[in-house]
Copies of this chain bind each other. A is one copy, B any other.
Amino acid sequence: MEIKVMKRAMQAGIDTANDTRKLLKNKKILMINLIGSPGAGKTLIIENTLEMLGAKGRKAAVIEGDIASSKDALRLQKYGIPIVMINTGGNCHLDAASVAKALKEFDPEGLDIIIIENVGNLVCPAGFDLGEDFKVAVSSVTEGDDKPEKYPLLFREATLLLLNKVELISAVNFDKKEYYNGVNKLNGAITKLEVSAAKKIGMDKWINWLDAQIEDKIKLEG
Measuring CB to CB, which residues of chain A are less than 8 angstroms from any residue of chain B? 1-2, 5, 37-39, 66-69, 71-72, 90, 92, 119-124, 127, 140, 142-144, 146-147, 149-153, 165, 168, 171-173, 198
Q: Tell me which residues across on chain B come within 8 A of A90, comparing CB atoms.
A: 123, 127, 153
Does B68 lie within 8 Å of A150, measured CB to CB? yes
The smallest C-beta distance from A91 to any residue of chain B, in angstroms, reads: 8
Does A68 lie within 8 Å of B2, measured CB to CB? no
Number of copies: 2
Does A150 lie within 8 Å of B67, measured CB to CB? yes
The smallest C-beta distance from A6 to any residue of chain B, in angstroms, reads: 9
In the complex the two chains form, what is the Cα distance from A143 to B71 in whole Å?
15
Q: Tell me which residues across on chain B come within 8 A of A172, comparing CB atoms.
A: 142, 165, 168, 198
Does B119 lie within 8 Å of A39, measured CB to CB? no
Residues A122 and B120 in contact in the complex (CB < 8 Å), given A5-B2, A39-B37, A67-B151: yes
Does A144 lie within 8 Å of B68, measured CB to CB? no
